C-alpha cells in the first residue's frame, strides 16, 4: 500500500511539473499567452511582466534579424538565392553573346572542341573578346558596348571582325550587330541582328544575320541553353543576271552544368538546315572557366 501511495505521489508531482513547464513555454512564445484582462490571465496569474518581456524579445528579434537579410535575397525567388554570384557565363550562350553586362574585372574563357574563346571585361558596360581554332584559323575579335534599360532589360551594340589568318589571308569579314536581352542572369531571352560584309579574293558579299538565344535555370547548378543563327536566302538580280545565295539556319539546344562558381560544362546538339534541307545533327561540348 505504501508503495502504491508513493508511486501515485510521484506521478502527481511529475504531472504538475510538466504542466507548469508547458505553461511557462506558452507564456514566452508569441501567441502562447492566455486571454488577459487588466494584466490578469484567465487562471488568475499576473502577466504584465511576461507581456513586457515578450514585447522586448520580439522587438529585439525583429530588429536584429531584419538587418541581416540582404535585399537581393528578399527580392529573388528560392532558386535564384542559391547562386547570387558566379554567374558571369550568362553573357554567352553557345556561340552568340547577349545584351547582359560582364562585370568589370571578370574574365572567362570558353574551350570548344575546335578552339578557345576568350572574353574580357574592360568596364561594367564594355567588353571584348577573341576566338580562334587550335591552328589559328580563322581569328575573330569582338567588341560590345552595353546599356542598361531597366533591371530586367539590357541593350548592346557591337562589332565582329575577323580574318582567315595565315591560311586564307584574302578572307576578311566585319559584322556590326545589336542585341536586346529580356531577363536576368538566371532566365533570359535575347534577340540579335546584324548586317555584315565578307570579302574573299577581292570579291565582297553582304548578308543579314539574325539570332535568338536564351537560357533558363532548371536546377541549382543546371541551365537549359538555346542558341541559333539565321542567314536568310539572298537573291540578287542586278545586271539582268539572277544570283542566288542559299539560306542557312542553325539551332543549338543544350544544357549547362555549373560545377562551381568558376567552372561550367555545357553540351548541345547542333542542328543545321541548308537550302531548306536538314543536315545530320552534330554534338558539341564546351568548357567555361574564369580567368
User: Could you list the pLDDT tens digit for every one of the 291 residues in the chain?
Assistant: 443 344 444 444 344 444 444 344 343 344 444 444 444 444 444 444 444 444 444 444 444 444 444 444 444 443 343 334 447 899 999 999 999 988 888 899 999 999 999 999 999 899 999 999 999 999 999 999 999 999 999 999 999 999 999 999 999 999 999 999 999 999 999 999 999 999 998 888 899 999 999 999 999 899 999 999 999 998 877 766 778 889 999 999 999 999 988 999 999 999 999 999 999 999 999 999 999
Which residue spans of the chain are classified as CATH 2.40.160.40? 86-290
Instruction: Return d(Cα 154, Cα 191) in angstroms, integer.
Output: 11
Q: Could you tell me which of 94, 108, 85 has the C-alpha nearest to residue 289?
A: 108
Q: Could you tell me which of 97, 92, 87 has the C-alpha nearest to residue 179?
A: 97
**Are the beta carbons of 214 and 197 closer than 8 angstroms?**
no
Model pLDDT, residue 223: 96
**Are the beta carbons of 235 and 242 closer than 8 angstroms?**
yes
Beta strands in 63-202 (DSSP E): 108-112, 116-121, 126-132, 139-150, 153-164, 168-183, 187-200
Model pLDDT, residue 228: 97
DSSP class of residue 275 equals: T
Question: Cell numbers at residue 24, please?
Answer: 511557462
Instruction: Return d(Cα 139, Cα 161) in angstroms, integer.
Output: 9
Instruction: Return d(Cα 240, Cα 158) in angstroms, integer.
Output: 36
DSSP class of residue 57 equals: H
Model pLDDT, residue 84: 42
Location of C-alpha cell 561540348: 285
Residues whose CB falls within 8 Å of the CB of residue 23, separated by 6 or more in sequence, listed in order: none
Phi then psi dihedrals of residue 80, to 5 deg: -75, -25
* Ramachandran class of 229: left when φ > 0, alpha when ψ lies in -120 to 50, beta otherwise: beta
Q: Could you tell me which of 268, 267, 286, 269 has the C-alpha nearest to residue 278?
A: 269
User: Domain 86-290: which topology?
Assistant: Porin (2.40.160)
Model pLDDT, residue 241: 76
Model pLDDT, residue 244: 84
Helix, strand or coil, per DSSP, at residue 240: helix
Model pLDDT, residue 88: 83
Amino acid at each position: 500500500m505504501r508503495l502504491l501511495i508513493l508511486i501515485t505521489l510521484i506521478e502527481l508531482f511529475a504531472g504538475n511539473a510538466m504542466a507548469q513547464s508547458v505553461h511557462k513555454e506558452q507564456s514566452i512564445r508569441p501567441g502562447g499567452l492566455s486571454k488577459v484582462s487588466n494584466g490578469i490571465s484567465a487562471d488568475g496569474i499576473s502577466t504584465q511582466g511576461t507581456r513586457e518581456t515578450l514585447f522586448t524579445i520580439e522587438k529585439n528579434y525583429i530588429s536584429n534579424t531584419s538587418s541581416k537579410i540582404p535585399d537581393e535575397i528578399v527580392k529573388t525567388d528560392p532558386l535564384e538565392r542559391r547562386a547570387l554570384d558566379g554567374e558571369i557565363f550568362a553573357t554567352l550562350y553557345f556561340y552568340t553573346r547577349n545584351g547582359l553586362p560582364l562585370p568589370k574585372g571578370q574574365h572567362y574563357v570558353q574551350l570548344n572542341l575546335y578552339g578557345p574563346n576568350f572574353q574580357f571585361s574592360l568596364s561594367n558596360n564594355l567588353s571584348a573578346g577573341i576566338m580562334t581554332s587550335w591552328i589559328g584559323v580563322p581569328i575573330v575579335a569582338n567588341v560590345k558596348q552595353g546599356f542598361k534599360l531597366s533591371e530586367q532589360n539590357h541593350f548592346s551594340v557591337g562589332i565582329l571582325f575577323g580574318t582567315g589568318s595565315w591560311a586564307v589571308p584574302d578572307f576578311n569579314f566585319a559584322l556590326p550587330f545589336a542585341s536586346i536581352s529580356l531577363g536576368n542572369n538566371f532566365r533570359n531571352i535575347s534577340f540579335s541582328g546584324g548586317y555584315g560584309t565578307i570579302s574573299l579574293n577581292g570579291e565582297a558579299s553582304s548578308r543579314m544575320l539574325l539570332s535568338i538565344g536564351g537560357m533558363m535555370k532548371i536546377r541549382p547548378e543546371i541551365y537549359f541553353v538555346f542558341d541559333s543563327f539565321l542567314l536568310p536566302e539572298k537573291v540578287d538580280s542586278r545586271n539582268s543576271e539572277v544570283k542566288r545565295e542559299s539560306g542557312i539556319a542553325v539551332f543549338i539546344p543544350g544544357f549547362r552544368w555549373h560545377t562551381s562558381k568558376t567552372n561550367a560544362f555545357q553540351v548541345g546538339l547542333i542542328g543545321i538546315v541548308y537550302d531548306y534541307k536538314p543536315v545530320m545533327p552534330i554534338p558539341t561540348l564546351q568548357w567555361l572557366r574564369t580567368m
